[in-house]
Chain A
Amino acid sequence: MTEYKNRSMIQRRLIPSYIFLTIVSFISVFPLYWMITAATNKSVDVARGKIVFGGYLMENWARLNQLQDLGGAMRNSFVYALVQTILALFICSLAGFGFELYHDKKKDFLFGVLLMAMMVPGVATMIPLFKMMSKLGFLNTVWGFMLPGISTPFLIMMFRQNSRNFPIDIMEAARIDGLSEVQIFFRMYLPVMKATYAAAAVITFMNAWNAYLWPRVIMTDKKAQTMPMLIANLAAGYTIDYGVLMLGVLFCSIPTMIIFFVLQKQFTEGITGAVK
């Protein structure tokens, strides 16, 4: 009896918390809800403040496809982000594996040097990288898009930190069994580190999909543009069709939203990954 009373008293004291959290949750979710409803409404209705679903989705869809090559941009974004994710995971996990499981003083020093790349801002390297990419003929290609992003100190550090738990004794046993170092990486390290790969994949894909400054610099041809560039173009005109714009924003958000809801745990780990 007293325990029950206690519990209801605790819940009563939490009422302010519930109210506060409900308001914050509402503010967090509402703009995204509004974006989805706006995609189904006529621009004038959106401007008038309509916040329920309407029946103008097909018209917005037709207009969006007439204004921009939506399919092309979706395909570009998918290809760029996917290629960048796969290569980044391979290169950075290989480095994390090397740095942690073969570590010595020299490698630790090199790791410290590489970490300094973390403080190089993208805006400072974009001009030299643009010149480099145009000299190599990589403008408007997936190469130009992903080369600056496939080896990052953040990912290397993430793999290195998470390799701490890798059972080193098994490596010795595997060597005695005749496995080469490369085989150890592919047959033992890769499966054991599955969780880290998943988290790293989610965060890399999201970052690549959402990138804006760098694609805008090197994707000079409209055919090569990404989704964030496409929706930015939609909003750049003098008069904005809000229904069409929000439908574009919705398409740009669908892949990341799906990842967020399905792989929220991996996403959280990806964000906090290297700081344990």
Chain B
Amino acid sequence: MKHKSVTAKQERWGWLFLMPATILICIMSFYPIIQALFTSFKTGSSANMKWAQPIVYNYTRMFSDKLFMRSVGNTFLYLIIQVPIMLIFAILLAQLLNNRDLKFRGLFRTCVFLPCATALVSYSLIFKSLFATQGLINSILQGLHITSSNINFLGTAWTAKMVIILALIWRWTGYNMVFYLAGLQGIEYSVYEAAKIDGANGWKTFWNITVPLLRPTIIMTFIMSINGTLQLFDESVNLTAGGPANSTITMSHYIYNNSFGQGVANFGYASAMSFFVFILVAILAAINLKVGDTRD
């Protein structure tokens, strides 16, 4: 519409500008994912791979592999428990921090947001140390006489899972809050003042104004969080090393172990599993588009 005067020469320049990025994405994303699909139908070590017999061997193996199924189960457990808790916390915090009468808003926001400044490996190691058998959390629990002996948090399956979930909530709540704060700034403050005059209390305003108006943002953060959780790797490797006895291992971690772990280069099988992850993420993206379309 506004570009009616673009001449053929300018047109060519336009294409030239976006070529480097386009070529790179094709080589670094599209080509490898097609390669991964081919590799997923092969077996053998990386040097001499052959087509699998039968061709879907890696895929049938995957669904009867108890360990892979466990890694899928773990990933979904983290997802189901962690994502809703984190997002509710994030909305709540954003709502509280959006109150103009509140003092020290900037300070509170910075504090809650601060965990985002740490690398995933860093915070995994911090939590690993805090929850070690001889770690600070055990010292505190005993100091307060809540427990009488050291709890092996990371050596017990269900507590290790809880620590991972806690760590994830700690790291990502502030991150999601930022999106909600940005979303809330788009809502006219007068809406809230009107609600206050009408006598709506904080809880009512939260459910009847904040949540509906933030719906697009909530959907987006929800999808982002699911996407991130499906690809969890750093935490599983560094916080629990997948243990005890692989009870906390995630899909990405198991795929890594099968492809670049000690002494194994099971590229065919790993590719099949990684293609499974890709399909999950793609389904998610499709749902995202569907939901995104109807949000108006």
* Residues in A lying within 8 Å of B, measured CB to CB: 10-11, 14, 17-18, 20-21, 24-29, 31-32, 34-35, 38, 46-49, 51, 91-92, 94-95, 97-99, 101-104, 107, 110, 114, 116-132, 147-148, 150-153, 156, 168, 172, 175, 181-182, 185, 209-210, 212-213, 216-217, 227-228, 231-232, 235, 240, 242, 245-246, 249, 252-253, 256-257, 259-260, 264, 267-268, 271-272, 275
A28 touches B174 (CB 8 A): yes
Q: Which residue of A lies closest to B6 (CB)?
A: A102
Q: Does B263 contact A (CB under 8 A)?
A: no
* A residues in contact with B96, CB < 8 Å: 17, 20-21
CA separation between A36 and B197, bound complex, in Å?
A: 47
CA separation between A121 and B18, bound complex, in Å?
A: 23
Q: Which of B121, B238, B284 neighbours the largest number of chain A CB atoms within 10 Å of its CB?
A: B121
Given known A17-B99, A153-B25, A256-B118, contact A124–B15 (CB-CB < 8 A): no
Q: Which of A48, A126, A235 contacts B125 (CB 8 A)?
A: A235
Q: Does B270 contact A (CB under 8 A)?
A: yes
Q: Which of B14, B30, B107 contacts A102 (CB 8 A)?
A: B14
CA separation between A212 and B121, bound complex, in Å?
A: 7
B238 touches A260 (CB 8 A): no
B32 touches A132 (CB 8 A): yes
Say what secondary structure dominates the interface of chain A.
helix
Tell me which of B57-65, B155-163, B274-282 binds A: B274-282
CA separation between A152 and B229, bound complex, in Å?
A: 20
How many positions in chain B have a CB within 8 Å of any CB in the partner chain?
Answer: 94
CA separation between A127 and B264, bound complex, in Å?
A: 13
* A residues in contact with B121, CB < 8 Å: 210, 212, 228, 231-232, 252
Q: Which of A150, A182, A235 neighbours the largest number of chain B CB atoms within 10 Å of its CB?
A: A235
A14 touches B117 (CB 8 A): no
Q: Which residue of A lies closest to B174 (CB)?
A: A28
CA separation between A106 and B25, bound complex, in Å?
A: 17
Say what secondary structure dominates the interface of chain B.
helix
* Residues in B lying within 8 Å of A, measured CB to CB: 2-3, 5-6, 10-11, 13-18, 20-22, 24-25, 28-33, 35-36, 39, 46, 93, 96-97, 99, 101-103, 107-108, 110-123, 125-130, 132, 134-136, 139-140, 143, 170, 174-175, 178-179, 182, 220, 227, 230-231, 233-234, 237-238, 251-252, 255-256, 259-260, 267, 270-271, 274-275, 277-278, 281-282, 284-285
B282 touches A124 (CB 8 A): no
CA separation between A40 and B255, bound complex, in Å?
A: 37
B233 touches A212 (CB 8 A): yes
A114 touches B170 (CB 8 A): no
* A residues in contact with B234, CB < 8 Å: 212-213, 228
Q: Which residue of B lies closest to A49 (CB)?
A: B139
* A residues in contact with B135, CB < 8 Å: 47, 49
Nearest Cβ on chain B to A128's Cβ, whole angstroms: 4
Q: What are 17 inter-chain pairs, A to B, with CB distance below 8 A?
A: A17-B96, A25-B107, A35-B122, A47-B135, A92-B21, A119-B278, A119-B282, A123-B255, A125-B36, A128-B39, A151-B22, A181-B10, A232-B238, A240-B132, A249-B126, A272-B179, A275-B179
* A residues in contact with B117, CB < 8 Å: 253, 256-257, 259-260
* B residues in contact with A94, CB < 8 Å: 17-18, 20-21
* A residues in contact with B170, CB < 8 Å: 27-28, 31
* B residues in contact with A120, CB < 8 Å: 29-30, 32-33, 278, 281
* A residues in contact with B252, CB < 8 Å: 121, 123, 213
Given known A94-B21, A232-B121, contact A47–B127 (CB-CB < 8 A): no
Q: Which of B21, B233, B270 contacts A127 (CB 8 A)?
A: B270
Given known A14-B102, A114-B22, A257-B117, contact A185–B17 (CB-CB < 8 A): yes
Q: Which residue of A lies closest to B285 (CB)?
A: A119
A11 touches B174 (CB 8 A): no
Nearest Cβ on chain A to B96's Cβ, whole angstroms: 5
* B residues in contact with A231, CB < 8 Å: 121-122, 125
Q: Which residue of A lies closest to B137 (CB)?
A: A49
A28 touches B22 (CB 8 A): no
Q: Which of A116, A117, A128, A185 neighbours the largest number of chain B CB atoms within 10 Å of its CB?
A: A128
* A residues in contact with B113, CB < 8 Å: 28, 264, 268
B127 touches A31 (CB 8 A): yes
* B residues in contact with A51, CB < 8 Å: 136
Q: Which of A47, A110, A253, A260 contacts B18 (CB 8 A)?
A: A110
* B residues in contact with A260, CB < 8 Å: 114, 116-117
Nearest Cβ on chain B to A112's Cβ, whole angstroms: 11
Given known A29-B114, A98-B14, A125-B33, contact A275–B220 (CB-CB < 8 A): yes
